[in-house]
Amino acid sequence: MPGFELFGDLERKEVNDVLDNGVLMRYGFDGMRNGHWKAKELEAELQNTFQSKHVQLVSSGTAAVSIALASAGVGAGDEVIMPTFTFVASFEAIMMLGAVPVLADIDDTLGLDSEAVKAAITSKTKAVMVVQMCGSMANMDALKAVCDAHKLLLIEDACQAIGGSYKGKPLGSIGDLGCFSFDFVKTITCGEGGAVVTNNEAYYLNADHYSDHGHDHIGHDRGAETHPFLGYNFRISELHAAVGLAQVKRLPEFLEIQKMNFDIIKRALAQIPQVTFRTVPEGGIESCAFLNFFLPDLETATKVSEAFKNNGIDACFHYYNNNWHYIRKWEHLKNLKSLYPISHEVKEGLRYLNEKSFEKSDHYIARNISCLIKLSWTKDEVEKRANKMVELINSVVN
């Protein structure tokens, strides 16, 4: 991760096909295309990748989350339970619909804790959104059982986890709807882009229409299409889809490199008694986009993180004080800093953030360091990096 590290001839060919053809929009202009439909081709490839009946490409992973929720009827005043550890896009996508993000603790998987989800359910709860952070997964069986028992939607944000799986199913294909990002720093990239994945035809048709101003996409005359309901513009372009089409064909190659580099570093760190690793639920296979490990306490993790920064070990994140990925620093959410008035339902729904604490999440995030696994490293570079990481951690803990 990320796929842009290995751009090559295949990406250039697919993009040049679009430029030579001249149609950059994914819909319409049928007579000009000469049979070129990059977005449709990519959706077909992703159906196989995700082992799902339906894939709708959209403009971003954030858009995918909003579209998935809207497609299943989540909107004003509904509550969506989500984890404290994620990217800010998770609560942004919920709030954009007028729904209320309800944050709940994580466990040692770094994903939603099922007991915390149970405690957060109210009469307004409509969905649980699990976020498969850093290439791995929450305890999906436990979360699915909670959702089934309370008749809640299970939305799977797998934006960071393409290539991971749980009990033989690709991450993103397990919930009622799955969401993916193909932005510039994902394992496969479109530059900007995302996808909604589902086996539910009604949700798929809703996503298809909603993401393109409500167009029903029936027939071959875009101007004559009807609008069964309101929608917005979350379309992907043919240029972005072309890049993704090349990248998805290379996904096995990327995953093999990620796993090799991941394994080298993990074997080295496993020699240190004070290092433990995130829990991967039985039957789960990480995508290996990130290596996540725990140190004994916040002080140790902080010192190790600083040692990494000061000694050339880049792309390692201590999320405890991170502005983008953990509840502690989301002051703009807690204080509702918005350019436009926030609805009464959302204001009231988020009051809990002024007094709620998340000690269980703090326990894990304070001690966690997450290391991006790059595709461009040579084996020699990975081994040197692993040895340096061991040396620096030992200098702190011993």
> Which residue numbers are catalytic?
186
Q: Using only C-alpha atoms, what is the Rg of the chain? A: 21
Query: Counting every residue, how long is the chain?
Result: 398
At 197 the three-state DSSP class reads: strand
The label of the residue with tokens 């600083």 reads 306
- 356, 334 contact by CB (below 8 A): no
CA distances in angstroms from 240 to 76, 235, 236, listed in the order given: 32, 10, 7
**Of residues 351, 350, 341, 355, the one with CA closest to residue 100:** 350
Omega prior to 2 cis, within 30 of 0? yes
- 185, 161 contact by CB (below 8 A): no
The label of the residue with tokens 């990925």 reads 325
Give phi and psi for 23, each to the nearest 5: -105, 110
The tokens describing 248, both together, are 């998805």
Can you spell out the DSSP letters for 293-311?
EE-SSHHHHHHHHHHHHHT
Residue 380 burial (C-beta neighbours within 10 Å; 0-12, 13-18, 19+): exposed
Q: Across the beta sheet with 125-131, what order do the strands follow? A: 54-58, 194-198, 177-181, 153-157, 125-131, 79-83, 100-104
Neighbours of 176 (CB within 10 A): 20
**What kind and span of H or E run contains 22?**
none
What residue type is 308 in one-letter code? F
- 340, 229 contact by CB (below 8 A): no
